[in-house]
Amino acid sequence: MIDNTLPQGLRDNPRLDQWIGFEVPNRVRISTGKVELGQGVLTALAQMAADELDVAISRIDMSSGDTSCTPEEGYTAGSLSIENSGGSIRRVAAHVRAMLCEAAAVQLSCRAGELRVSDGQILRGGTPTGLDYWQLAPLLDLTTSASGGTQLKSAAERHVMGTSWPRTDLHGKILGAATSFIHDLAPADMLHARILRQPWPDAELQGPSDIDMQATLGTSVRLVRLNTFVTVVAAAERDVVSAAERLATRLHWRGGTPIQRDDTSPASLKTQPSTTSAVSRGDAPATTEVAAKRISRSYSKPFLAHASIGPSCALAHFENGSLTVWTHSQGVFPLRGALARALRLDPAHVRVIHVPGAGCYGHNGADDVACDAAIIARELPGRTIRVLWSRADELAAAPFGPPMLVELEATVAPSGLPLSWTTRIWGGSHLRRPGAHGNINLLGAQALPDQPVPAPSAELPEQAGGSGMRNAWLQYAVSHQTVHNTLVADLAPRTSAMRGLGAFANVFAIESFVDELAAEAAADPVAFRLAMTPDTRARAVIEKAAAMAGWRAGDRRPEGHGRGFAFSRYKDRAGYLAMVVDVGVEDTVKLQRVWCAVDAGLVISPDGVRNQVEGGILQSASWTLKEQVLFEDGRVASCSWDSYPILRFSEVPEIDIALMDRPDDAPLGVGEVAQGPTAAAIANAVADALGLRLRDLPLTRERIIAALQKP
Amino acid sequence: MSASRLLHINGQSYPLLAPGDASLLDVLRNDCGLMATRFGCGAESCGACVVLVDGRTVHSCTRPADSVVGHAVTTLEGLAIDGRPHPLQQAFIDEQAGQCGYCLSGILMSAKALLDRNSKPSRAEIVAALDGHLCRCGAHARIIRAVERAAVTLAATAHQS
């Protein structure tokens, strides 16, 4: 029987040798299905293994994201790697350490309890016994399943967890190591390829003919075309770049479904084909409770781009019926499944290997470019095909974070506190990853013949944290809540998972609305939140952030300056975060200072948590103040950094982060914890500065001027 | 094409064999095997491809390689001193200044150019020097701290010697 208290990764991959091995003398292999996205996860997982095993972290070799040899752990997403993969690795390491000590005890004819371990050496009475892990490991059967029953190290016994161990992946990137990124792989048999995209879905290629196209390209560049999937391939990268530019102007596209700009605004979500579900929690308000008033407000966010700093890249090699793909995808196993289906290959003949790419915050172009490379590789067996997307494709062809509209309504008691609360959400899908809902969901595959009709996208279940409904439930004590969730499943252009999913818009809306309710009640925003917060850990971060900023009820800021507050616990179950933001507002919003308190439970790497939270704050500030995908002439118009601007160095505030000290609690994910609260804290600060409320993101100069000019 | 055309990169000579319109970035990566300089946009908008030419920052994505013949090109691979990290690189390691790290190659080169001309930059001067660089992960605050730390280290080293 499988212990259902084990982390998901260990339930799916129970064998010890899937996670750990001692194949190389004096080295320990730790395998994970999670991948390095620049979040430092491989270092943190190595820290956890080192402590549980009592070996130096420098002896640990992390093996990550390879369908041929690492555990299947789905996607590296949802702020789950430390809780899930880390939880698995700790239990496996503790179990194997106990097995090694038992084996040593047999050899030494003593009790295992008499033995200690120092960097893999077995000690008895503090003296080396001459036995070490590498002598003992061959005696163990590591094909057995992890029990999860071995005691994990207590706070006092841990030495590596809880320290800011330098990231193992960052060093080479700073020193200019030869192959830091997938973009740097250059096998001898490599051919470069570029893709010429349809202007919009279902557009048909009217011409020129393949013969004419090939004539345009000359002899050094080869055309590879399957229906509307048009690519150029050559040995020299400069040749494919110039060929793609030449050919792009000559392609005649006809028909298809241009993007209707009117259908891309958050307000248009209400009029598009959709499905709605409604769920209530708590009892209906008692009739004796008299609502003093009913207040409703509406908030929105637009389409957002992942806007990775490096365009998506992949390599693929097809030979003797087997496909190997090198990718910076967040999920090598789901990608393998989707590629096998799209190309009609046996998954056993597809190997997908993760190689770090530029920063990735969800389902960006990584999977699609891998499919592009795989399709071309199958047409040109025996050569390794490298595809690099253009900047324009990175900003326009990758899936977007969906627009959302969130309407909130509360009945309010005479005290000003909410009695009942209704949330109405409209949004596009957050979940069109490869394999989701049984679909292939790879852009290039749409051009292949006989592709299955995709099933409609759906909401992620509550036990997985929801998607559009993520963080829709209040973390405040309101006795009756109802959430209506309307999903526009076929929204065009394509939308999918982006850091925080629905939590970004939902927390922005809820925490803005809480400030509006506090203002209606003439209450201090911090005191108002505390008055409806029973959770002691939530109260602690709220009070900590307020104290860091020197928050005082009723403080007036100078003209044009504002201070805002926000709180959230990500997914109702991951890390807690509260923050204060100071802004100056003239025609644009200038971030001045951020104070932030985070409860991440047991912190594996304090600097790793700070880095994730700092980055989350700045990225969310960029979404909040600057970002929206633009549409024109049936297609995405924001194809450059000029038309899709992101936060610059000159716009970055000073950030203070405090981590709550909770070494005896379980670790809680923090990768996405800052996205929602940052937007709300900025919006609340802007409202404080201007004396009027902006409810539609982004909070641009145009929006501010328009709001100020309203009579 | 004359075989005598040489590129001087990080103190070494490389023959320039690419056609005249090839970008310096293309030649660095594909002909010289120097992979630390990165493609980000191809339009001088993100700074990922910045290198130094005679100590000045240049966007290698649009600069023709043949225009730097006879000039000294420095890339991230050329920053180390006697095989040891440059104090600027050490400061970035000490501050763990980066997340994905893709933007760092260009940022390190702009920071190098700044510190070479201004050994005690203010925070505002650091921000101004880096403002043409985009970072999507939000590592800006620690990158600024790393440049500040490098300036202090370099000043201490200069004082000792």
User: Has residue A136 got a pLDDT over 90?
Assistant: yes
Element (H, E) at A682: helix A675-690
- B137 contacts in chain A (CB < 8 Å): 38, 309, 359, 615, 619
Q: Does A234 touch chain B (CB under 8 A)?
A: no
Specify the 3-state DSSP secondary structure of A262: helix
Cβ atoms A459, A277 nearer than 8 A? yes
Percent share of chain A, pLDDT over 90? 91
Band of pLDDT at residue A427, cut at 50, 70 and 90: very high
Q: Are strands A400-401 and A304-305 parallel, antiparallel or unpaired?
A: antiparallel
d(CA A419, CA A400) in angstroms, rounded, equals 36
A324-381, pLDDT tens digit by residue?
999 999 999 999 999 999 999 999 999 999 999 999 999 999 999 999 999 999 999 9
Provide mean pLDDT across the span A414-427: 96
Whether B89 has its CB under 8 Å from any CB of chain A: the answer is yes
Contact criterion met (CB below 8 Å) for A263 and A274: no
- The DSSP-derived string for A338-393 is HHHHHHT--GGGEEEEE---S---BS-THHHHHHHHHHHHHHSTTSEEEEE--HHH
Q: pLDDT under 50 in chain B at which residues? A: 1-2
Q: What are phi and psi of B3, to 5 degrees?
A: -70, -15
Query: Cα–Cα distance between B154 and B160 in angstroms, integer?
Result: 10
A647-684 confidence digits (pLDDT tens): 999 999 999 999 999 999 999 999 999 999 999 999 99
Q: Testing the interface with A: which of B28, B45, B96 to mutate, by most A Cβ within 10 A?
A: B96
B99/A359 Cβ within 8 A:
yes
Using a CB-CB cut-off of 8 Å, the residues of chain B touching A174 are 85, 89, 92-93, 97-98, 101, 104, 108
Once rounded to an integer, what is the mean pLDDT over residues A458-478?
93
CA distance linking residue A205 with residue A217, whole number of Å: 17
Are A611 and B96 inside 8 Å of each other by CB?
yes
Q: What is the pLDDT of residues A151-190, one digit of tens each?
A: 999 999 999 999 999 999 999 999 999 889 999 999 999 9
Say if residue A201's pLDDT is above 70. yes
- A190–B contact, CB cutoff 8 A: no
**Mean of the pLDDT values across residues A312-323?**
98
Beta bridge partners of A401: A304
Q: What is the pLDDT of residue A308?
A: 97
In A, minimum Cα distance to B136 occurs at A309
For residue A289, name the pLDDT band (cuts at 50, 70, 90).
Answer: low
Residue A59 CB partners (closer than 8 Å, separation 6+): A26, A27, A28, A50, A119, A120
Say if residue A608's pLDDT is above 70.
Answer: yes
The per-residue pLDDT for range A584-593, each reduced to its tens digit, is 999 899 999 9
Q: Nearest by CB to A640, which of B35, B43, B102? A: B43
By the 8 A CB rule, do A48 and A28 touch? no
Given a cut of 90, whether residue A710 has pLDDT beyond it is no
Q: Is B92 on the interface with A (CB under 8 A)?
A: yes
At residue A255's C-alpha, the angle toward residues A250 and A261, to 5°, is 100
Mean pLDDT of A565-581: 97
Candidate from A5-14, A337-346, A534-543, B138-147 with smallest mean pLDDT: A5-14
Q: Does the beta-carbon distance from A358 to B135 stay under 8 Å? A: no
* Of A605, A606, A551, A546, nearest in space to A578 by CA: A546
Contact B41 A641 (CB under 8 A): yes
List the structure tokens of A311.
């365009």
What DSSP character marks residue A660?
-
pLDDT at A286 over 80: no
**Could you tell me the two tokens for A248?**
């792009």
Q: Which residues on B lie below 8 Å from A39 (Cβ)?
A: 99
The residues, ordered by sequence, that sit 6+ positions from A702 with a Cβ below 8 Å of its Cβ are none
Q: Mind telling me how many Å the CA of A387 is from chain B's nearest CA?
A: 13
Q: Which of A56, A68, A58 is nearest to A31 (CA)?
A: A68
* Nearest-CB residue to A173 (from B75, B104, B131): B104
Residue of B29, B75, B136 to mutate when probing chain A, most A C-beta within 10 A: B136
Alpha-carbon distance A28 to nearest alpha carbon in chain B (angstroms)? 25
Is residue A5's pLDDT more than 90? Answer: no
pLDDT at A464 over 90: no
Could you tell me which residues come within 8 angstroms of residue A683 by beta carbon, excluding any fewer than 6 positions away?
A: A508, A512, A564, A624, A693, A694, A695, A699
pLDDT of residue A287: 55
CA angle A500, A505, A506 (to 5 degrees): 90
Nearest by CB to residue A175, choosing from B48, B89, B142, is: B89
User: What ipTM does the predicted assembly reach?
Assistant: 0.97
Q: What percent of chain A has pLDDT over 70?
A: 99
**pLDDT band for position A291 (cuts 50, 70, 90):** confident
DSSP states of chain B as a string?
--TT-EEEETTEEEE--S-TT-BHHHIIIIIS---SS--S-SSSSS-TTEEEETTEEEETTTSBGGGGTTSEEE-GGG--BTTB--HHHHHHHHTT--SS-TTHHHHHHHHHHHHHH-SS--HHHHHHHHTT---SS--HHHHHHHHHHHHHHHHHHHHH-
In terms of DSSP bridges, do strands A293-301 and A404-412 run parallel, antiparallel, or are they unpaired?
antiparallel
pLDDT of A322 higher than 90: yes
Predicted confidence (pLDDT) at residue A512 exceeds the cutoff of 80? yes
Cα separation, B38 vs B34, whole angstroms = 10
Each residue of A483-493: pLDDT tens digit? Answer: 999 999 889 99
* pLDDT for A407: 98
The answer to whether A1 and A11 have CB atoms below 8 angstroms apart is no
Structural element, H or E, at residue A404: strand A404-412
| Cβ–Cβ contact B19 with A under 8 A | yes
Q: Which amino acid is at A364?
A: N
Give B108's contacts in chain A (Cβ within 8 Å).
Answer: 174
Give the CA-trace dihedral at A446, A452, A456, A459, to 10 degrees.
-90
Q: How far apart are alpha carbons A521 and A414 in whole angstroms?
A: 9
Predicted pLDDT of residue A2:
39
* Closest by Cα among A368, A349, A380, A367 to A190: A380
- Does the beta carbon of B17 lie under 8 angstroms from any beta carbon of chain A? no
pTM for this model (two decimals): 0.97
pLDDT at A596: 98
A706 touches chain B (CB under 8 A): no
Tell me: pLDDT of A3 over 60.
no
Residue A431 makes CB contacts below 8 A (sequence gap 6+) with A437, A457, A458, A459, A460, A467, A496, A497, A501
Determine the 3-state secondary structure of A590 from DSSP: strand
Written as one letter, the residue type at B98 is: G
For residue A211, which phi and psi values (nearest 5 degrees)? Answer: -65, -45
